[in-house]
Amino acid sequence: MFLWTDSTWRKCRVSEDDAVLAALSGGADSVALLLELLELQRNGLIGGIAAAHLNHGIRGQEADEDEAFVRSLCDSLGIRLIVKRVDVPASAKRSGVSLELAARCERYAFLSEAKTEAGCDVIALGHHRDDQAETVLLHLLRGSGTDGLAGMRLRSGDLIRPLLLTGKDEILAFLAERGQPYRIDSTNLNADATRNRIRLNVMPVLETINPQARKALSDAAFRIAEDADYLGSLADEAFTAVGYDRKKLAALPRPVRLRVLKRMLPYDDCTSADLLRLESLLSGQTGDRATLKNGVVAWLDAFGLRFDRIGSEPFWIPLGEEGTYRLPNGTLTVRTVEKPVLPCGGCDAYIDADRIAGNVFVRSPLPGDRFTPFGMRVSRLLSDYLTDRKIPRFERNVPLICDEEGILFVAGHTIDNRVRIDASTAHIRHYHYEED
């Protein structure tokens, strides 16, 4: 009999052909997980098993004994084991984060590497119901919304947690019944770590009110997860429908609006402060901006919400007569064509190839850049041209396709008048810019 039900395993979405990497610390949870995965393999329900163990270098000889234990266990079970040693205390000091966070980051990075090395499809973690209860309390204390209060999921990307509905008492009883030893991590008894304080001090008090407090918190997380998933599906539909239109965004119900804004951010680790800044920006004026984390700036143009990065690095890339080129904020395609496809927008330029002077390259704008916009006879500063077109300054880091005489094409806008095509044009070069 498994520690998890058939229904729980189905929700982990693992097929009979999938190979599973077990995160194996040597503790009770991971050892029970490994034994259950081995049983699944014997029953033909998964394609294979490997295990991965990270020696954090935190507990000295104790950690070395953990490593020796898992090596012996995997040898006895005939399971491949991948081991790595890292100095987490040194990593935490270098990065200026807590030991707990540094260990977590190192662990997940290692598991991802080990999964690739072992040729596995998913990574199985030993998180159980008691861990879920602690996670919900942690997120509640941080003021999380429904996504945070949903806690951990049975499956998140390539991570599965088949023990998530299983209590710690059930795991210990399972191991005792089989006479299977395991290691005890002494750092779990250290009340300095926030999660340990919840486990050692807060949870016992809650259990005086409700002896089933851990199960109640875990059950609440799964109910909240259903609500969060439904709101997420509404946000996906809304994002498709309204895009970056600020008026339509502002009109969305707030729970949906905040989720849409989260999807827009060009990074994953957004904070509630980021979302509140974006939400406030929607009621601003054209040109208003909000500075977010990771060097990202959000700003408003006449149509909607836009994003850029502060201090984008300058670039210079040589171009040939044909080819596709990756630029910092998009892709440029160059082709020789027989005739233009009209009408065309600002992202397409058809120019007289015989009027190109020397080498062609694409670069970032420089102070004092001038060109003669299509249809004009007098050159203008690029900055003045963009100002007249009401292009906010945060959107002015546009790629410039140039030759040895100057600008040929201001990507997204217009070409220089000297390379326009006319009745005498014999050779045409097409530049197409697609912004990310």
Reference 124, options 218, 30, 222; nearest CA is 30
**CATH homologous superfamily for the domain 15-219:** HUPs (3.40.50.620)
Please check whether residue 148 is in contact with residue 220, taking contact to mean a CB–CB distance below 8 angstroms. Answer: no
Instruction: Please give the pLDDT value at position 328.
Output: 77
Judged against a pLDDT cut of 60, whether residue 311 lies above it is answered with no
Taking the domain 316-435, which CATH number applies?
A: 3.50.40.10
Instruction: Tell me the whole-structure pTM to 2 decimals.
Output: 0.69
Instruction: Express each pLDDT in 212-236 by its tens digit.
Output: 999 999 999 999 999 999 999 999 9
Judged against a pLDDT cut of 80, whether residue 1 lies above it is answered with no
* Domain definitions of the chain by residue range: 15-219, 243-309, 316-435
Give the pLDDT band of residue 290 (cuts 50, 70, 90).
confident
Taking the C-alpha atoms of residue 264 and residue 184, their distance in angstroms, rounded to an integer, is 43
Instruction: Please give the pLDDT value at position 261.
Output: 93
- Fold: same for 15-219 and 316-435: no
Give the pLDDT band of residue 394 (cuts 50, 70, 90).
low
Query: In degrees rounded to 5, what are phi and psi of residue 349?
Result: -135, 125
H-state helical runs in 243-296 = 246-250, 254-264, 272-281
* DSSP-based three-state secondary structure for 184: coil
Name the least confident of 103-112, 121-130, 393-402, 420-429.
393-402
Judged against a pLDDT cut of 90, whether residue 50 lies above it is answered with yes
Separation of CA 334 from chain center: 32
Instruction: Please give the pLDDT value at position 194.
Output: 81
Instruction: Express each pLDDT in 125-182 by its tens digit.
Output: 999 999 999 999 999 998 888 989 999 999 999 999 999 999 999 999 999 999 999 9
Taking the C-alpha atoms of residue 118 and residue 366, their distance in angstroms, rounded to an integer, is 49
